Amino acid sequence: MSETTTPPPTNSEFGIGQEQLCSLSTEQSTAALELYGGVVGISNLLNTSLAKGIHGDEADLLRRRRAFGSNNYPRWRRKGFLIFVWEACKDPTLLILLVSAAILLALGIKSKGVKEGWYDGGSIAFAAFIVIVVTAMSEYRQYVQFHDTNEKKRNIHLEVIRGGRRVKISIYDIVVGDVIPLNIGDQVPADGILITPHPLAIDESSIHGESIIVHKDSRAPFLMSGCRVQDGSGTMLVIGVGINTEWGLQMAISSDDPIEETPLQARLNGVATFFGIVGLSVTAVILTVLLARYFTGHTRNLDGNVQFIAGKTRAVDAIHGAVSIVTIAVTSIVVAVPDSLPLTVNFTLAFSLRKLMASKILVRKLFACEMMGSATVICSDKTGTLTMNQMIVVEAYAGGRKIDPPSNGLRISPKLQSLLIEGVAQNTNGNVYLPEGCTGIEISGSPTEKAILHWGVQIGMDFEAARSESSIIHMFPFNAEKKRGGVAIQKADHEIHIHWKGAAEIILARCTWYLDTNDHLMEMSGEKMAFFNQIIEDMAAKSLRCVAIAYRPWKKEDIPVNEEQWAHSSILEDDLILLAIVGLKDPCRPGIKTTVQLCQKAGVKVIMFTGDNINTAKAIALECGILSSFDNAIEPCVIEGREFRALTDEQREEIAEKIVVMGRSSPNDKLLLAEALRKRGHIIAVIGDGTNDAPALYEADVGLAMGIQGSQIAIESSDIILMDDNFPSILKVVKWGRCIYANLRKFIQFNLTISVTALLINVVATLSSGDIPLNAVQLLWVNLIMDTLGALALATEQPTNLLMNLPPVGRREPLISNTMWRNILIQVVYQVSVLLALNFQGSIPGFTHDATDHAIKLKRTLIFDAFVLCQIFNEFNARKLDEFNIFKGVTRSTSLWE
């Protein structure tokens, strides 16, 4: 790049304009960045502190949005109601009916005049119009519901540094100049420049379409919105937001239609197709018979006259008669083809999603709600899911002795205290903020980090001072596989310290020394090692999470000089000096034991995963009710992750159903167990909140994430979000999932009963006398109440506790059970018998011997009324498929009465 001077400012409020920032982000030229003075120079031009961020007051935010835009992008306009009306009009059956109605209307008016001739065609057209409008209204409401749900799931919340403190804001509220902390698994929320010198591994597959891992450091500091942090941690300065980023441009041009077909809808499409073929076949028979009878002169008017006489009947009358027959046949298709079955899933899902949202449960993917009704196993992370994720240090050992209380820093020797404070302050992703003029402190970070930072403050740590006394030269991000994380620092006297923190027994195994109460360096003898191991076991038995803190000095001349050397210097993790072991308490969530017991009663097994050691896992599982007693806390019910992953595929599949608790588990262990259970035919739901839970959440049949304390990647990998982090909400999801299946089965029974009855009535009447008891208008009316009002009443039944006493719905269990076939058969026999009796033997007082048009019309009206009344009783019968008392809970079903 040729030498240039820094471009002049393009606005009066900031020293750099949007065009220059866009050019920086697009070209990603470090030479151009240096012209502005690097990231420090850009931050000065943006009036931002790299340490404390922007001021963040309303006036400051408004200035930045006015100069650089907001972190949003244009959305596709929502479909209007008329679009759904147009799509409903495209239904082939309705199109045939409308064409038939137009022909009948024209022929009727021509032959009988406007006053008498509009009835047949006009009535059919009006009924078809109502069907179209009601169908469009139903689909439009569902579209709006799903669209709103889609918007909520996009509204991610994340931490930014403003005014020196970490605050949580919506991703849409990010502005240029914000300083944002990034950790493993986080999505880069805007275009920016890496501030910290430590490298980050970034997955840029969302931009390039291929899984490309790019290492970002001071030589390649530009970060693109939409990418994900694969490894490492650091902070970034935002230089581009919204439509001014490549990610924003991609999102602006992508489709915004949240509607998706669920597995249940696909299965119902198959059912509808099968019965549709049957209905079409029967309708074809009706059409053939009616046309044959008509053109052979066997069809008579209500007054007994033959409708068609070859060579005598006018062409207009012949066409009128033929069109009337085609209309009746086509209308029969409307009733016979159960095309409303898939639509009813939308009814049920929309209703369920609305109810779940009211309970702080956000369903991100439609299939998840119905799938939860079939869940047989719930695999749950411990920390933050079964527990409150509000950790505090309740026990501590330093210098080889117990510190009681753990906050008593006076009982810690000076050198040991100095090293502990140094390690706690530098080896962390958290932050301690002391507001000006206030005595209270604000601690941010993960629950474990917050607890240890709080303990550090209690033993005398000044966070800002401790961090200023040394500089970080390399970070070893916490790794879920290794269960530890570290940092290499250089002190003012150029001395190098490497601090480590992680799972107590893993760190302890790498310690060959420890500091005693007199700051003497003591060798870790076998006896002392056993002593510390016993401490860890005792803490674990009290359901405490054990974390060890250790360090080792290092010679400056031996420090690695590049990233590759750092990555392969495993010796830096060995020969450590133990500083302290702390026990963190994380209380179980209220009502967790009752929830677990109710899940087990419902036939849903609960399995607990945790990164803690096996003894801590046992104690928590007993407290939560996952284990009933210590007698059950033996293999293979309780197993460590390393033991499980060492098994062969056949062995894992064999013991998978016996496992209840897995300690020291890695993210891959959860996947292995889920795969083994699925091979055994189970439907798996996984619940988690951490970045390391994301793979299991993504691969499970249903992934559930905690919405408040859940990490960004966990939330995005999930199908359902518990917005209030309330584990007992899982029961509501399971109950509503089962309710969806139950309500759909009710409607299937109701729908098929009507379809079969209407077909049989018309077929029998056609074949025997050529007369159709249910005409086109009447059948359209039946279709209207069947597809909308009947669906609304049955699809919106509230779930009952009885559903939780039943076993889960099997993945391959047929939608139409034997009980439903029995109910349908009984109803059809009953209704057909009543209606045929009225058709062939029915008589009305005062019109017994009257063969006039009026008497026949009254008889047909009586048949139609009886048919409608039968469907009202059919609706009540369909409410309870397996129960004798069909009126149980009927007063609570408001939609049924409305």
736 contacts 868 by C-beta, under 8 angstroms:
no
746 contacts 881 by C-beta, under 8 angstroms:
yes
| Dist. CA 696–CA 717, nearest whole Å | 9
Q: Which of 137, 121, 148, 147 is nearest to 87 (CA)?
A: 137
Query: From the candidates 178, 186, 381, 612, which is the catalytic residue?
Result: 381
| Dist. CA 215–CA 567, nearest whole Å | 13
Residue 441 to residues 167, 451, 764, Cα–Cα distance (Å): 14, 13, 84
Residue 381 annotated in active site: yes
| Dist. CA 609–CA 381, nearest whole Å | 5
What contacts 24+ positions apart, CB below 8 Å, involve 75-81?
Answer: 75/256, 76/255, 76/256, 76/257, 78/143, 78/144, 78/147, 79/140, 79/143, 79/257, 81/136, 81/137, 81/140
Q: What are phi and psi of 568, to 5 degrees?
A: -105, 10
Q: Which DSSP category does 312 fall into?
A: T
**Look-up: residue for tokens 């290794």?**
482
What contacts 24+ positions apart, CB below 8 Å, involve 627-635?
Answer: 627/660, 627/661, 632/660, 633/661
426 contacts 487 by C-beta, under 8 angstroms:
yes
**Look-up: residue for tokens 């893993």?**
506
| Dist. CA 751–CA 62, nearest whole Å | 57
Instruction: Output b/e per residue, 91-120; b: 16+ Cβ within 10 A.
Output: bebbebbbebbebbbbbbbeeeeeeebbeb
Burial class for 891, CB neighbours closer than 10 Å (0-12, 13-18, 19+) = exposed
830 contacts 755 by C-beta, under 8 angstroms:
no
Residue 768 to residues 708, 771, 772, Cα–Cα distance (Å): 68, 8, 10
Residue 767 to residues 333, 760, 835, Cα–Cα distance (Å): 17, 10, 16
Q: What share of the chain is helix, strand, coil (3-state, %, to 5)?
A: 50, 15, 30
Terminal Cα distance for the chain, rounded:
73
With residue 143 as reference, give the H or E element that holds it: helix 119-154
29 contacts 1 by C-beta, under 8 angstroms:
yes
Instruction: Mention every residue, 6+ apart, whose C-beta is less than 8 A from residue 506.
Output: 482, 483, 484, 548
For residue 841, what are the β-bridge partners? none
DSSP string, 198-267: S-EEEE-HHHHSS--EEEEBTTB-EE-TT-EEEE--EEEEEEE-GGGSHHHHHHHHS--------HHHHH
Both tokens of 315, joined, read 């062409």
**Could you tell me how far CA 449 lies from the centroid of its own chain?**
28
What is the dihedral angle through the alpha carbons of 888, 889, 895, 898, rounded to the nearest 10 degrees? 80
Catalytic residues: 381
